[in-house]
């Protein structure tokens, strides 16, 4: 996983609430067995509409998505995160994220930044006024700066450290393999097995 410390880039406003992962990456794309190449499918149904914000050339090259509340609801598909990253996004800012999407994003180094709805709206308005304005997402200081806004966000120390080091969870957990084996010895004998 690519480490995340601080990122500065231009942003694109997506003024829609309840953006579900079926919209982020439609199910037809889920048949692929690779982990890359999903950027072409990002919001593909909506991108068929010329007026959709990602089709506006003034936002091309933006790396921060300013989304409406309840972003990433629905399906657990991690492909949604892979699509956002493959398209070029490094961070998504929203008033609230769906739990599974948030976990998937943190697992891949796509930073989900939760800010109060009025702050997200202020950023959206600023970017709509000047698409070239740059926004900094600073994980070290846990702060978003730019477009006249300075706002701190919450993220627990452990997750922040893991993202800043670019560590994946499997490697961290395998350090506790002995504890897992001890726990396994305490499971009830009647616990079911699949095979």
Partner 1 sequence: MGRTLAEKVWDAHVVRRAEGEPDLLYIDLHLVHEVTSPQAFEALRLAGRPVRRPDLTLATEDHNVPTSDTLLPIADPVSAAQVEALRKNCAEFDIRLFPMNDPGQGIVHVVGPQLGLSQPGMTIVCGDSHTSTHGAFGALAFGIGTSQVEHVLATQTLPQRRPKTMAVTVEGDLPPGVTAKDLILAIIARIGTGGGAGHVIEYRGAAVRGLSMEGRMTVCNMSIEAGARAGMVAPDETTFAYLAGRERVATGAAWDEAVAYWRTLASDPDAEFDREVVIDAASLTPYVTWGTNPGQAAPLGSRVPSPQDYDSPAVSASVERALSYMGLTAGTPLSEVAVDTVFIGSCTNGRLSDLRAAAEVLRGRRVAQGVRVLVVPGSMRVKAEAEAEGLDEVFEEAGAQWRSAGCSMCLGMNPDTLRPGERSASTSNRNFEGRQGPGGRTHLVSPAVAAATAVTGRLTAPADL
Q: How far apart are CA 23 and CA 42, in angstroms?
A: 8
CA count, 13 A, side-chain hemisphere, 56: 14
Near partner 1 by CB under 8 A, which window of 55-63, 129-137, 143-151, 187-195? 187-195
Work out the widest C-alpha separation in the chain, in whole angstroms: 64
Nearest distance, CB of residue 130 and partner 1, angstroms: 23
Contact map string, positions 139 to 178, toward partner 1, x by CB under 8 A? -----------------xxx---------xxx-xxx-xx-
Residues 6+ apart with CB under 8 A from 87: 39, 42
Q: Which is nearer to partner 1, 50 or 184 (CB)?
A: 184
Near partner 1 by CB under 8 A, which window of 25-33, 50-58, 122-130, 141-149? 25-33
Find the radius of gyration of the CA atoms of the chain: 19
Q: Which is nearer to partner 1, 63 or 75 (CB)?
A: 75
Supply 155's token pair: 């993220």
CA dist list (Å): 59 to 40, 53, 62, 94, 161 = 16, 8, 6, 18, 31
Bridge partners of 94? 114
- Please list every residue from 27 through 86 that binds partner 1, using CB under 8 A: 27-28, 30-35, 45, 68-70, 73-79, 81
Nearest distance, CB of residue 142 and partner 1, angstroms: 15
For partner 1, the binding residues (CB under 8 A) are 16-18, 20, 22-23, 26-28, 30-35, 45, 68-70, 73-79, 81, 96, 98-100, 103-104, 107-108, 156-158, 168-170, 172-174, 176-177, 179-180, 183-184, 187-195
């Amino acid at each position: 996983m690519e480490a995340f410390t601080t990122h500065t880039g231009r942003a694109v406003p997506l003024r829609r609430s309840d953006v579900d992962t079926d919209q982020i990456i439609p199910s037809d794309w889920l048949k692929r067995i690779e982990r890359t190449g999903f950027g072409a499918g990002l919001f593909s149904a909506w991108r068929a509409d010329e007026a959709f914000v990602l089709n506006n050339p003034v936002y091309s090259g933006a790396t921060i998505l300013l989304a409406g509340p309840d972003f990433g609801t629905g399906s657990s598909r991690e492909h949604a995160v892979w699509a956002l990253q493959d398209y070029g996004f490094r961070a998504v800012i929203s008033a609230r994220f769906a739990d599974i999407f948030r976990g998937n994003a943190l697992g891949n180094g796509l930073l989900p930044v939760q800010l109060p709805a009025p702050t997200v709206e202020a950023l959206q308005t600023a970017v709509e006024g000047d698409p070239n304005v740059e926004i900094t997402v600073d994980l070290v200081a846990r702060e978003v700066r730019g477009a006249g806004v300075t706002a701190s966000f919450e993220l627990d120390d452990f997750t922040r450290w893991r993202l800043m080091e670019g560590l994946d969870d499997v490697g961290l957990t395998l350090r506790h393999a002995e504890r897992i084996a001890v726990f396994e010895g305490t499971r009830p004998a009647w616990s079911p097995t699949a095979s």
